[in-house]
Amino acid sequence: MKSLFALVLTLAGINFGFSQGQINFNNGSSVFIPARLCTTCGIPGFVDGAGLTGTNYLAQLYLSSDYSNVLVEGPSIFRVSSTTQPGTWSGGIRNFISAYQPGQTLSLVVRVWDGGFGGLTTFNNSFLHGQSQPFDFLIPAVGSPPSQLAMINFQGITITPLTPPIQCIPEPSALILSCLGFIAFYATRLERRKNIRGSISIISQSRP
């Protein structure tokens, strides 16, 4: 019995010694700062300056220095178009990876992008994406009140189209090669037709 009690205390000590820091990764509750489209985008099907909606859009938290991931959990999705809080994602309490512990101050950024089908599109390849300005966050001690978990220094995000725009046609080199191939093919066919006609003419002239 004493051995079991000692084991429980040991495990509890390990758990407290390696407790994870947390953050309320949410822009729709304690911090209501919607992610909005740029006011001069002019993208067909989108309203300039509107709050972003759609579960294909993702939000995630990164270090501002190298954009490495800091959370255990994956990206959060934005809300459906019928939401009363457009521009907000379905976030909540998230856990920092073990490299970041309570008491540390991190410089963070929020990145938002269109994850596409199955969320497979990356931030850099997404047609619509945006990134917040860096903001500091002090990881609070375990058991701190909810107010200390909020991203109070977060200042919002503006979503813009990918620059340069996505290539919708082949690159010039590929296009030129394709055209040259087509010209060569067409010239060969013309030459073959010319030879066939010449042969037919010679045969016709040789007949009595």
Indicate the domain borders of the chain: 20-161, 169-208
Q: How high is the pLDDT of residue 43?
A: 77
Q: How high is the pLDDT of residue 192?
A: 55
Secondary structure, 3-state, 26-63: CCCCCCCCCEEECCCCCCCCCCCCCECCCCCEEEEEEE
Q: Please state the rounded mean pLDDT for residues 4-16.
A: 44
Q: How far is CA 48 from the centre of its chain?
A: 20
Mean pLDDT computed over every residue of the chain: 78
Q: What is the pTM of this model?
A: 0.69
State the Cα torsion 7-10-12-16 to the nearest 10°.
-170
CA angle 8, 13, 17 (to 5 degrees): 150
What is the C-alpha separation between 119 and 75, in angstroms, rounded? 9
What is the C-alpha separation between 116 and 38, in angstroms, rounded? 20
What are the tens digits of pLDDT across the range 113-148? 999 988 889 999 998 999 999 999 999 999 999 999
pLDDT above 50 (res 24): yes
Q: Please state the rounded mean pLDDT for residues 150-170.
A: 71
Using left for φ > 0, alpha for ψ between -120 and 50, and beta otherwise, residue 113 falls in beta
**9 or 40: which leads in pLDDT:** 40
Q: How high is the pLDDT of residue 163?
A: 57
**Can you give the C-alpha Rg of the chain in angstroms?**
30
Q: Please state the rounded mean pLDDT for residues 8-13.
A: 44
What are the tens digits of pLDDT across the range 49-95? 899 999 999 999 999 999 999 999 999 999 999 999 999 999 999 99
Residue 161: phi and psi, rounded to 5, are: -70, 160
